[in-house]
Amino acid sequence: MVKKYGKRDSVVALSFDDGPDERYTPEILDILKAANVPAIFFVVGINVENNVGLLKRIYDEGHEIGNHTFTHPNLALVNPERTRVELQATRRIIESITGHSTILFRPPYNADSEPESMEELLPVEVGKEENYYTVAESIDPQDWSEGVTADTIVARVIQQDALGNIILLHDAGGDASRRSGRSRVSSRTSGSGGEGLWPCPSSWGRPGTRSCLPSLGTISCS
């Protein structure tokens, strides 16, 4: 059985995938800091390896960190053992830099929204076996798409407001107009009920895990 659950009124979680990126992540962090908005960064291990200082900054400035695999493969096309290696490698590099682990996992590609096929569900199951909460997204403005403008990104987020609480953006890739759209979404969450992550009981997750995502959009297999 597959369940997707979690929705709270007047609360959003702002998430960024695919970084850290030496060009874009610092800009986003500056905006989040100025607006006093927390976020969660689902990081790719190979990008962390190339931007150790940025991961440390993400953590030091109070944002949450989630696992987005090491090389960003389509997990629906790889075997469970490869998925496990991707998760373990990224977890270890996060732990080595921050001194803390993570229990938050977002698979790349379609499995982060509405997994339907067995191939898309298997990564969720592997994540569960590795003691992760698989965090979905409910509002996806597709800020990566060709020709998208800042106005388009903001409008799509507003249009999808009724779909859920977790906004998916990216802190790697794109041109200036896309970065502007992400920035405006980040700023709009300040003072409008936008929240990041909340503390959770110390018994949750692995030792050294700082906090966890509330039930805003997790996928569970049972």
Query: What's the CA gap between 10 and 78, in Å, rounded?
Result: 38
Identified catalytic residue from 63, 68, 72, 170: 170
Query: What's the CA gap between 48 and 93, in Å, rounded?
Result: 8
Q: Is 17 a catalytic residue?
A: yes
The amino acid at residue 133 is: Y
Identified catalytic residue from 9, 17, 60, 112: 17
Q: Is 170 a catalytic residue?
A: yes
Q: Could you tell me if 222 and 1 are in contact, meaning their C-beta atoms sit under 8 angstroms apart?
A: yes
Give phi and psi for 129, each to the nearest 5.
-65, -30
Q: How many CB atoms lie within 10 A of CB 109?
A: 15
Q: How many CB atoms lie within 10 A of CB 79?
A: 11
Active site residues: 17, 170
